[in-house]
Structure 1
Amino acid sequence: MTASPDPAILRAIESLNYRATVGDVATQAGLNVNFAEKGLLALASQANGELQVAESGEVVYQFPRNFRDILRDKDFRLRLKETWEKIWRVLFYLIRMSFGVVLVLLIVASFLAILALTIALSSNRDDDRGGDFSMPTVWFSPDFFWIFTPDYDRRRVDLQHSDLNFLESIYSFLFGDGNPNADLEERRWQSIAAVIRSNRGAVIAEQIAPFLDSVGTVSEQESEQYMLPVLTKFDGRPEVSPDGQFVYHFPSLQTTVSQQERQWLPAFLRESLYQFSQASSGQITLAAGLGVALLILAIVLTGMTAGIGIAALRVLAFIGLGYSTAYLLIPGVRYFSIKGRNQRILDRNRNRELRAKQLAQSDPIVQHKLAYAQQFAAETVIQQSDLIYSTDRDLIEQDVDRSAQIDAEWQHRLEGKQ
């Protein structure tokens, strides 16, 4: 059974205009060179891709612009995966909304239960006294009911701007808004590959260090052991200068199908800090207030049902008490967890920035290593005229064309010598 193509390779092919070398894809997606090569071969087989071989032996992969449609038609699992992703997005959104819905329902149910018990107790007392019955006075905060109206956000003019609706803000208050560094590893390897590419496939360790979390102990830094994962991922090889300094050479990233424009690169890899919530301050206050309201209602209902044999109301009081406690406890724990996590992120950012500044200072040793690395720097751009074979044409036809080209080259050389 054929494995589904890696999504990172598919995105890389599209961003590279459907024609690329292994080095192009590895750089664009930040993937292991060997993994990218295997993925491209598999993708070419599944999506009617073409292999074009240059005279130097380098392989260029050409894909049709509708290769996703071709894959979808051939692979039932891919269609099933895409369908499930669409369903899951809807389900996950409903799950997110459910926390706010449950909160409001518990508040309303608890309030109505307390109101019913109060009326029942008042009625019993009035029957005992034989007096007139009067409804207890109940006060509703108008803001509470505005949350159910379509123009709630416009009425709450004191709320800061937020793209989250009320139910979304409840989930955000409880669990936050996800990991801001979910794509950190992808960004890391894309940046490292871009640094290697911008230096034409030859770098020194000091140029890579600002993109790593840790460079190890002092002895590990001196031996540059932190470069081993980079060498493994991008099929690199160390080269030693006459005075014993290391530079690193990446032949697989020196071949491309288009001239590389010099792009802006960050000096170091910066992690984003976690936010407690993307909800506005007004939405957070409202969310916390509703949690406190449910807790108070649950405590009152627990006291009122202590001596009453109505099991349903006792269960409601127990659920309300448990839900409100967890509702208020989770954000509190998360708040202190975020503070510690952000401090570690700041430390890592500070260390990477320090390494970038040390590189910018360029002491004599670094300058000498950079100069030696230039001996291995190269960039090969494969033009259409460099191709000697393509899978989209008959082999005999290509051999005939190739022989004509060789004869023309020899004739040109002979004429040049005369």
Structure 2
Amino acid sequence: MKKLVILGMLAPLFTAAQQPLTLPDAIDIALKNSLDIQVAKNNVQRNEVLNSYGVAGGLPTVNANANDVEQITTINQEFANTARNTKRSNVATNNLSANVTGSIILFNGYRVVATKNRLEELEAQSRQLLNAQVQNILAAVMTAYFDVVRQQGYVKTIDQSIQVAQQKLDIIKTQQTVGLANNADLFQAQLDVTALIQTQAQQQLVIAQAKTELLRLLTLKSDSLITIQDTITVDKGILLANIEQRLASNPDIVAAAQQVAINGYIVKETASQRYPSLRANGGYNFVYNKSAAGDTRLNNSYGPTLGVSLAIPIYNGLAFKRQQRAAEIDVKTAELQRQTLVRDYSANMVKNYQSYTSTLQQLEREQTNYGIAQQLLDLVLKRFQLKQATIVEVRQAQQSFEEAGYRLVNLNFAAKAAEIELKRLGSLLQ
């Protein structure tokens, strides 16, 4: 698991000084603040506490008991020897007893062993689920971080388009001063500038909302101010074979396999209830009975005890047998769930790799296409300045440039998202 960097003062620093938030910073903050990870850690600690022979029932149990009863009674005793007859009222009596008892299981159908193994498997499973939660948080934070970068990339394209629209408007104004342009072109150019400024404002809202989502994943205040100055760089060296090899070690799949083992131990625990149970018992008893009248005035006994007890289940309505059959069905269900998870993860891996490779190929072509669109726009704008192109041609070239810019940013993000998901499936995020 990635080592956590303590950044207790980092979040206020971003708010106060407006330093750029980098991806490593975002990951460290998420790992430190994530409530989901804290819950998963608590589950690990809980299962660590429960994983003991005492909880499994393999250690002795010792109990101490004491009882003291003061009583006022009426005694009426008659004997063959009438001289011994006693008849008295309001006789004070005291009954005091105390004992310490200890007990330990000698045999109960290996239930203690099965329970201890189940507790160990539960602890191991909780650690795998913690690892899975860490990978999920890392993937979510990285995707949200690069989504902000993507949305900011749209703004850069819009800003360039606004500059072109403003140049177009300036050219028309210059041409109009010498009588080479009409009001229709002027009005259209003004509308184009206004429309792009509106688009820019709308995109700023999208960026703000993307940052809010990132702040949610970082468990920071939703109104915190952060700036991100980054680009999307895609790792182009991922191989499907490497992800396939690591898929078996995916913590979700490992946890599913552990659930099969856990259910198997529950079968053994349930089956053990059908076997005899042998227990060793020992202790020390003390009894003190005192009466102010009657045949027995004092009775005091004390001493150690030692013995064994044997319990043999004979019949309980076949409840244990039915519980065992139900537990065996749970094992089959857990195995089917594991197979389903492996199937889904394998399909997800292949689909993301297909998206990854296809997007990389498109990305190379789109980078060339974007350069051509930029050159075309510059050329058409120069021709427009020389009255060799119309305003419609400028708008078409401008639109082609914007679409190429959007596609380039989208392909970069799509490739990065596929890369992140592939690394999550292979537990390679850090």
The TM-score, its normalising length taken from structure 2, stands at 0.32
From the CA coordinates, give the structure whose radius of gyration is larger: 2
Structure with greater strand percent: 2
The TM-score, its normalising length taken from structure 1, stands at 0.32
